[in-house]
Amino acid sequence: MTQPSLLSTNEVRDRFSKAMSAMYQAEVPQYGTLLELVERVNQETLSQQPELHRRLEAQGELARLSVERHGAIRVGTAAELSMLRRLFAVMGMYPVGYYDLSEAGVPVHSTAFRPIDDDALAMNPFRVFTSLLRLELIESEALRQRSEEILAKRDIFTPGARELIERHETQGGLTSEEADQFVKEALETFRWHQDATVDLETYQALHDEHRLIADVVCFRGPHINHLTPRTLNIDEAQRRMPEMGMNPKAVIEGPPRRECPILLRQTSFKALEESIRFAGDAQGTHTARFGEIEQRGVALTPKGRALYDQLLTEGRKQTAGLDNDAHQTVMQNVFAQFPDNDEAMRREGLAYFQYHLTEKGQAAKDVGSADIEALIAQGLVEAQPITYEDFLPVSAAGIFQSNLGGAESEAYAGNANRDAFEEALGAQVTDELSLYAERENASKAKVLASLKK
């Protein structure tokens, strides 16, 4: 009897991300408007910048642009986080990076579940930024205990999802039919629920401590609170959002506008106020879900990241209370110290690059040289920026705060605890910078080996 063929984790991820996008569009119709806006801006940008079009096509990023999304969820317990790790593994998504959001006044720490290898990223780079609530940072012992009691009573996974996760682990994958059932079951974890699991008084007490705590504790599951498409021109998307009935946040998070984008820039439309029925039939509202857009640039090396962090800190001191245009002007002035040129960033070791043979290089025979710089000068090799696939804690906190209405809280600051997070996760997180360094080094080795043939 022949064994049924098992689907690749890439295919499961692709099915799931598309199903989640359809679900979220049904729940938040403005998300569909956001997708239309991003698609229009992207097409215009590609037609205006043929070199960008060529580079994205050469790097295999053009095809993924239309399906690229990242979601964000928040969970309340170590058991929930650990099971999510197993759920995302079914889709070939692994925990990359540790983010301490307490440094920006939000009582969570986080990782991003995402695909890791080049082929997986090229097919569908779906990511889910996943935060664990840090109950130990809640000052009130009574609120902390009440939160623990509430969270202990819920199961955010369906029995079917648990069974299929175990099946994936024991048989090494899922059949096409099982994958479709898995997608259906797993979506239930991320679905919006209008019924809270607590009474209005409990919700209000948690809300007054921090809105994010109420969002995590008071519902049956970690509803997806945004899905983020990738734009090639976030400034233009931000400018057009009001024309399409969306109220954008005041400023774009992350680095300023540049000729050669770095890391990640993010903006969003303000969170929706949604009707909620609380235990005891009281009616109220809750604000959590919003629309976000991102623009991705080159990944920075430790040296580049240190310079970015230094300049960001300087810029934030000067931009409090400014509107987006004034904010961008100040940030651009501060970031004038950061080279806005791919070649300069590469030569100074500020960013990661992937090396490819040019057409001339592909035709060359037994060059023999192992000097990458000489090969570039001869036109045999070219360097292309490696796209940053990860997140920025200060930017993530800025998005959270603008949509949860919370100011920064000094009470949570300076509480990084990667060991505790990894213990809750049940695994170590992968260091994102090591992934970029490996990719750069592998591409160098590949071109050098090709030129010696």
Residues 158 and 263 both lie in one domain: yes
Residues 268 and 148 both lie in one domain: yes
pLDDT tens profile 111-129: 999 999 988 988 889 999 9
In a domain, 420, yes or no: no
Residues 197 and 318 both lie in one domain: no
Residues 328 and 368 both lie in one domain: no
CB 82, CB 156: distance < 8 Å: no
Q: What φ, ψ does residue 296 adopt, rounded to 5°?
A: -105, 140
Selection from 188, 269, 193 nearest residue 226 by Cα: 269
H/E run at residue 27: helix 9-27
In a domain, 421, yes or no: no
Residues 323 and 186 both lie in one domain: no
In a domain, 27, yes or no: yes
Residues 49 and 108 both lie in one domain: yes
Residues 183 and 284 both lie in one domain: yes
Distance from C-alpha of 224 to C-alpha of 27, rounded to nearest angstrom: 10
Residues 333 and 436 both lie in one domain: no
Please state the length of the chain. Answer: 453
- How many structural domains is the chain composed of? 3
Residues 270 and 304 both lie in one domain: no
Residue spans of beta strands (DSSP E) within 328-385:
353-357, 381-385
Q: What is the pLDDT of residue 196?
A: 87
Contacts of 115-122 spanning 24+ positions with Cβ under 8 A:
115/10, 115/13, 116/430, 116/435, 118/60, 118/439, 119/10, 120/9, 120/10, 120/13, 120/92, 121/64, 121/389, 122/60, 122/61, 122/63, 122/64
Residues 153 and 231 both lie in one domain: yes
Q: What is the pLDDT of residue 66?
A: 78
Q: What is the pLDDT of residue 408?
A: 45
Query: Percentage of residues in the chain with pLDDT exceeding 90?
Result: 49
CA dihedral sign, ordered 20, 21, 22, 25: positive
In a domain, 76, yes or no: yes
pLDDT tens profile 348-364: 999 999 999 988 888 87
Q: For residue 287, what are the β-bridge partners?
A: 273
Question: 318 is in which domain, residue-wise?
Answer: 299-347
Q: What is the pLDDT of residue 396?
A: 59
Hey, what's the torsion of the CAs at 118, 35, 113, 298, to 10 degrees?
A: 50
Selection from 338, 173, 239 nearest residue 41 by Cα: 239
Q: What is the pLDDT of residue 416?
A: 72
In a domain, 108, yes or no: yes
Angstrom distances, CA of residue 434 to CA of 123, 301, 413, 421:
22, 9, 27, 20
In a domain, 184, yes or no: yes
pTM value? 0.89
Low-confidence residues in the chain, pLDDT < 70: 1-3, 271-272, 288, 366, 368, 394-415, 453
Q: Domain with 136 in it: what CATH number?
A: 3.10.180.80
In a domain, 232, yes or no: yes
What six digits make up the tokens of 387? 């796209």
In a domain, 239, yes or no: yes
Residues 318 and 247 both lie in one domain: no
Residues 244 and 335 both lie in one domain: no
Hey, what's the torsion of the CAs at 317, 318, 322, 324, to 10 degrees?
A: -90
Side-chain-side CA neighbours of residue 351 (13 Å) = 26
Selection from 225, 219, 198 nearest residue 131 by Cα: 225
